[in-house]
């Protein structure tokens, strides 16, 4: 199928649109300065998807230093997907998959060796998306979310 959307880096002019999508799609919401801080520190992994000139999805990430897994040894950089969402009218067209792939390229530019994220254990679309991209569940965090739901931590080598 013809791709109907395009990806580009987030710019500060996109802040309101992205915050609206975040509030509409997810219970985990953030203040404006949180979005701006991630954009300023990690511009290559804060990406928006546009369809007919309108933003329909975003991904924002940060790069952290932590203990390696997968036998990589020692301290490594890890790309952490902080938040990704696509408006209902933009779903099942490959937007999230494209956002993830673009953000993971940015993580590689930042020298990250793996990518990880937390997702609600009941979030079937999310878990299916990450599995399709080659992520595996590396652990379950009980009561991770403010409503006490559990999270899967899902990880993929970059």
| Interacting residues with ligand ACO (CB under 6 A) | 25-26, 81, 83-86, 91-97, 117, 119, 123-126, 128-129, 132
Q: Considering just the CA atoms, what is the radius of gyration of the chain in Å?
A: 15
Contact residue for Zn ion among 63, 118, 126, 130 (CB under 5 A): 118
59 lies in the site for Zn ion, by CB under 5 A: no
Q: Which of 103, 3, 102, 1 is nearest to 52 (CA)?
A: 3
Candidates 6-14, 19-27, 90-98, 118-126; binding stretch for Zn ion (CB under 5 A): 118-126
50 lies in the site for Zn ion, by CB under 5 A: no
* Among ligand ACO, Zn ion, none, residue 83 binds (CB under 5-8 Å by kind): ligand ACO
Q: How far apart are the first and last CA of the chain?
A: 27
DSSP 10: -
* Among Zn ion, ligand ACO, none, residue 147 binds (CB under 5-8 Å by kind): none
Give the span between the Cα atoms of 103 and 84, in whole angstroms. Answer: 10
Give the span between the Cα atoms of 50 and 53, in whole angstroms. Answer: 6
Chain residues that interact with Zn ion, rule: CB under 5 A: 118
């Amino acid at each position: 199928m013809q791709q109907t959307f395009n990806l580009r880096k987030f710019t500060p002019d996109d802040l309101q649109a992205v915050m609206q999508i975040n509030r509409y799609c997810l219970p985990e919401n953030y203040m404006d300065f949180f979005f701006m801080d991630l954009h300023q520190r990690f511009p290559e992994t804060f990406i928006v998807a546009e369809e007919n000139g309108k933003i329909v999805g975003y991904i924002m990430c940060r790069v952290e230093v932590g203990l390696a897994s997968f036998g990589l040894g020692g301290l490594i950089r890890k790309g952490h997907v902080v938040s990704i969402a696509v408006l209902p009218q933009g779903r099942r067209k490959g937007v999230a998959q494209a956002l993830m792939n673009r953000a993971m390229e940015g993580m590689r530019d930042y020298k990250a060796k793996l990518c990880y994220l937390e997702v609600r254990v009941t979030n079937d679309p999310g878990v299916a998306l990450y599995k399709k991209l080659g992520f595996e569940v590396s652990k379950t965090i009980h009561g991770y979310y403010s409503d006490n739901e559990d999270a899967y931590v899902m990880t993929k080598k970059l």
